[in-house]
Structure 1
Amino acid sequence: MDRNGAESGKAARDRSPDATTPGGVSQAFEAFRRGWEAEFGQGVPLPTFTPATTADFRVKHRATRVDDVAITDLHGASVIRTDGPLTSSEDVVRLYVVQRGAWTLGGPHDRGERTISAGQFLLKHVGRPSHFQTVPDTAATVLVLPAAILKPLLGGRILTGPSNSAELRLLTAHTNMVRLTMPDLTPAGVQAAHSTLIELTKAVARRRFDDAEPVLAPALVQAAKDLADSRLADPELSAVVLARELNVSLRTLQRAFTVAGESVISYIRERRLEEARLALTAPPASRLSVSELAAHWQFADSSHFIRTFKKRYGRTPTDYARSISSARG
C-alpha cells in the first residue's frame, strides 16, 4: 500500500496448498500486513485478526494518508473478524461509511454493539479500540481523524445516518479527489486537502456545513457532478435540484462552479452529449436512433440534439456513427 492508495491486499484466488504460510496465514494477508506497516508504521497498529480471517483473506485494501488523517477502503469477499485482548488505548475520531454488506463494531458479548448497514455511516470518538467484524462482500470506507478538533463537537455522541446526506456527499467527493490527486500535491496542496477533510467531517458532526467557506467549493462542485452523473437521464435534473439535494442555495452552487471556471448547465449538457456519443459507438443492431438518443438524454428535439452534437464534435450524430462503423471495418 503506497501513499497514493495502491492496493496492498489482493483478492485471493482458489485456495491451494501453497496459498498459506506454515502458520496458516495466507500470502494475501501477509502482503496486506506488510503494506499496512509500511504505510502507517506504529502510528496505526494493525488489529489482531482471527485465524479464520488470516487464513482466508480475500480482501482488496487501499489506503491514503494525508498528514494525520488516514482514508482506508476495504472490499472484503471473505469475513473479516478481529480477535484477542484489547489492552491499548486510542484517541482518534473514526468515520465508517458502508457501501455494501455490513460492519459491526464490538463483539456479541460487548455492551453497545453496533452494526452499520449498507448506505449508512457512523461517526464516533474512540478512546479504546474495540473488536469488529464484517459479513462477506462488505465494502466500506473508514476515516481515522485527529481527536483534538472533532472530539469536542461530538460531545460523547455516536452519530449515525444515511451516507447520501448532503454532508457525506461532499466528504465522499473530497476523499475521492484526494485519492486521485495525492501523488501530485505540493506540501501546500496536502495541507489544503487535510484542512478540507477536517472541515467536512466537522460538517458531518454538526449535520450542516458552512456553505460560505471557500475551501469547500471544490468538494461542493465534485459532489454536484457526482450527483448529476447518476441522474443524467432524469428530465427533472437541474441546478435547482442539485442545490436542493446538497442542501445549499442555488447561488452558492453556481458560485462554486464559477470559481471552477464552468457552470452547472454546461456540465450537465457536456455529460449528456458525451453519453450520447458513447451510445453511438454501439453496434448498429443495438444502437438507438438519433431521435431516441435525443429523447433519452433530454434534448428538446432531434434538431437541437444534432446541432449541439455537431458543434461539440464537428459532425452530425449520423456521420459520427458511420465513421465508427467504417473504422471497425
Structure 2
Amino acid sequence: MSGTTAGAWQLEARGDRRQFAAVEQRWSALTGGSFPMPAFTAASTARFHLHFHATRVRDVAFTATETATPVRTAPSAVRYEDHVRLWLVHRGSWALGDTRDNTELTIPAGRFALRNVGRLVHYATPPHTTAQVFVLPAATLSPLIRDSMVTGEISAAEVRLLAAHARTVHETLPELGPVGIEAARSTLLELVRAVAAPTFSATDSTLAPVLVQAARALADRLLTEPGLSSAVLARELGVSVRTLQRAFAAEGQSLTTHIRDRRLHEARAALADGRLSVSEIAAHWQFADGSHLSRLFKRRYGMSPTEFIRAGAGRFEPRAERAA
C-alpha cells in the first residue's frame, strides 16, 4: 500500500462541490488510494451537510457518518473484489445497488449487512442517516460470508462490541505504537468474524479485552446510578454475568473493584473542586454515606477526605495514582 498505514480524522462539512472535493482529498490522503471513495451524483455534492469520522488501520478502514442531506453515489463499473464491507445503520436507512438486476437492498435502522462488494455499484441514504461502514480485507473474511451476505440486528452483543471497539480505536489511534496498531487491527477483524459466524463466544481470549473495554465505558456512563451492578452491565451488553466476570478476571481486576475505584476517583475530583460536602459527594457517587466514603477513601489514598482537603487537594498526588 502507498501512504501511511494508519490514521484518523473527523470533520463537519457543508457546502458545494468545491468543499466536497476537499472531503474526497482528505479521504484519499488517509487511505493512500487503497480504499477509493465512489463518485457521487451532482445533486449530492451540489449541497451537502455531514459529520464524518474516518479511520484507517493498515488494510482496514471504517467511517462513522451522520448526514443532514440526502446522499447518493453515481452508478459505476468499479469492482471491489478484494474488499468486504459491513454497514451498521443506527438511524435512517442505507440502500445498496447491485448490478445483477439494478435493484436496491435497503438496510433499515437497527440492522446490519455484511457482504462481498464485487457487484456493488452505488448506495443511497435519506437525510438524517447515521451509520458506521467498515471496509475489510476479503481474503480474511470471505469464507465466512455464505451467499455473499450476512444480515442481522445491531443490538446483537458482538455488533455492539465491534462498534465500541471501533470508537475506541478512532479515539486512541494517534497515541498507538506499531504493536498497538496491529492489536487494534486484529481485534477489529476478530469481532467482524464474530458478527459473521454464529459461534461467537465472549470468553474468547481475543474478544474478552474488548468486552471489558465496552463494560468499562458503559459503567463510566452509569456511575451515578444507584442500581449499577455486574448484572445491569451484562444485560446491557447482551452477555451473561459469568461471561462478564470471566472477562474482567482475565484482565486481573473485578468489575466491582473497577466501579468502586472509578467512583472514588470522581469523588476525589469533587473534593478537590470544593463545592460539595463529603456527605453530598457520597450521595452523588452512590456511597452508603459520608462515613462509608471516608473509610474507602482512606484505604485507597492513605488519608481521609478531610485530611485530603486540608493537605491541599490541588497539590496532592495519592500514592496509588502517581505516574509510573
- Report TM bin, short chain: 0.7 to 0.9
1:316 and 2:305 aligned? yes
Aligned pair count reads 307
> Structure 2 counterpart of 1:177, which letter?
T
Alignment-derived partner of residue 111 in structure 2: 120
User: Could you tell me how far apart the structure 2 residues matched to 1:302 and 1:283 are?
Assistant: 15
1:171 and 2:162 aligned? yes
Alignment-derived partner of residue 171 in structure 2: 180
Matches within 5 A, 1:3-42: 3-7=6-10, 9-12=11-14, 20=16, 25-27=17-19, 29-42=20-33
Matches within 5 A, 1:209-220: 209-220=200-211
1:90 and 2:80 aligned? yes
Is contact 1:100–1:137 with CA below 8 Å preserved after alignment? Answer: yes
Over 3 Å counting, the alpha-carbon distance change for 1:302 and 1:207 in structure 2 is farther
Cα deviation for residue 140 of structure 1 reads 2.0
Matches within 5 A, 1:63-74: 63-74=54-65
Q: Over aligned residues, Cα RMSD in angstroms?
A: 3.5
Q: Which runs of 5+ in 2 are unaligned?
A: 314-324
Cα deviation for residue 5 of structure 1 reads 0.7
Over 3 Å counting, the alpha-carbon distance change for 1:136 and 1:112 in structure 2 is closer
User: Could you tell me how far apart the structure 2 residues matched to 1:41 and 1:294 are?
Assistant: 52
> Structure 2 counterpart of 1:4, which letter?
G
1:43 and 2:34 aligned? yes
User: Could you tell me how far apart the structure 2 residues matched to 1:163 and 1:37 are?
Assistant: 29
1:202 and 2:193 aligned? yes
1:260 and 2:251 aligned? yes
User: Could you tell me how far apart the structure 2 residues matched to 1:141 and 1:105 are?
Assistant: 14
Alignment-derived partner of residue 307 in structure 1: 295
User: Could you tell me how far apart the structure 1 residues matched to 2:300 and 2:118 are?
Assistant: 56
Is contact 1:101–1:138 with CA below 8 Å preserved after alignment? Answer: yes
Deviations 1:11-60 (A, max 9, x none): 23xx6xxxx5xxxx132x12111112222244222211122221223223
1:156 is paired with a residue of what secondary structure? helix
Over 3 Å counting, the alpha-carbon distance change for 1:203 and 1:294 in structure 2 is same
Alignment-derived partner of residue 327 in structure 1: none
TM-score (norm 2): 0.78
Is contact 1:69–1:146 with CA below 8 Å preserved after alignment? Answer: yes
Alignment-derived partner of residue 146 in structure 2: 155
User: Could you tell me how far apart the structure 2 residues matched to 1:205 and 1:179 are?
Assistant: 22
Cα deviation for residue 221 of structure 1 reads 0.9
Over 3 Å counting, the alpha-carbon distance change for 1:262 and 1:50 in structure 2 is same
User: Could you tell me how far apart the structure 2 residues matched to 1:112 and 1:212 are?
Assistant: 38
1:253 is paired with a residue of what secondary structure? helix
Over 3 Å counting, the alpha-carbon distance change for 1:42 and 1:256 in structure 2 is same
User: Could you tell me how far apart the structure 1 residues matched to 2:284 and 2:122 are?
Assistant: 49
Over 3 Å counting, the alpha-carbon distance change for 1:302 and 1:66 in structure 2 is same
Over 3 Å counting, the alpha-carbon distance change for 1:114 and 1:44 in structure 2 is same
Percent identity for Structure 1 against Structure 2: 47
User: Could you tell me how far apart the structure 1 residues matched to 2:79 and 2:130 are?
Assistant: 27
1:103 and 2:94 aligned? yes
User: Could you tell me how far apart the structure 2 residues matched to 1:134 and 1:278 are?
Assistant: 44
1:271 and 2:277 aligned? no
TM-score (norm 1): 0.77
1:56 and 2:47 aligned? yes
Cα deviation for residue 132 of structure 1 reads 1.8
